[in-house]
Amino acid sequence: MLESEMGYQSELVPMSTTGDRQTQWNLSQKGGKGLFTKELEDALLHGDVDLAVHSAKDMPTECPPGLSLSAFAEREDPRDVLVLKKGIQNPKVMATGSPRRQAQLKTRFPKSQWIQLRGNVETRLRKIAEQHEAEGTILASAGLARLGLTNFPGLKFMYLPVSEMVPAAGQGAIAIQTRSSEKDEYTILGNPKTQREVGIERKVLESQGGGCQIALGVCMNEDSIHFFEEKTGYLSFSCSEMSESEILNKIKDFDK
């Protein structure tokens, strides 16, 4: 049993998802975000667990009937991190399966070949540093921090501003999913600032028909919205005095 800072006791139930197991799949072609959630959602629906903890950026814009995203825990650094082999400035081979990341890095590395490396983070870093399967990749800062990876032998980490490399909706935040009938019991676990930011980002994603198959990024950071869509490019604007509907309309007008 685990005891939280709030005094609640809970049992941790580790699970492996289809996305974790199918290490040879191209995720953007096989269904993307849902591949990392289905088994956890089935456990919720069957009553085997009471809440599921996800990376918010991996969550589809719609939950299965009977389930809800009840809270988003306080967000960590939402930035992406460019990882290159030491001594490399213009990589010949870059590894990422994300259309969003690839679309934004193509202008920076126009001559790079793009491949996908699967496996956990340390495995992918080792494939670059030691096995020479690629010369670079791009990863979420929050994921590296949670693993305690601030550096790796033979590699250099460069943290990219959100205005230059727009993150995925919800990147850096933890989503707490529950049965809809119990949603109100778990909202206390959320952080109000993160709730608003990620809520708006997911609305933008939904309005664009979002998923990991499209090259789209959106991040609300320090009272500004940063948006990227492959066809229309970058948009950044202050949103501190704007309502959710005003933000959505401004992005919609830009992306016509």
Give the strand pairing for 67-72 and 174-179.
antiparallel
* Residue stretches of the chain with pLDDT short of 70: 1-8, 17-35, 210-213
Q: pLDDT tens digit string along 61-117?
A: 889 999 999 999 999 999 999 999 999 999 999 999 899 999 999 999 999 999 998
What is the pLDDT, as a whole number, of residue 38? 84
The pTM (predicted TM-score) of the whole model is 0.86
Using only C-alpha atoms, the chain has a radius of gyration, in whole angstroms, of 19
Would you state the pLDDT for residue 39? 87
- In sign, the C-alpha dihedral spanning 192, 215, 39, 67 is positive
Pairing assessment for the beta strands 136-140 and 93-95 based on DSSP bridges:
parallel
- Please, are residues 247 and 199 in contact by the beta-carbon 8 Å criterion? no
Closest CA to 27 of 125, 99, 80: 99
Q: Which of 58, 80, 223, 253 is catalytic?
A: 58
Is 223 one of the annotated active-site residues of the chain?
no
Residue boundaries of the structural domains of the chain: 2-76+168-254, 80-160
pLDDT of residue 20: 54
CATH superfamily of 80-160: Periplasmic binding protein-like II (3.40.190.10)
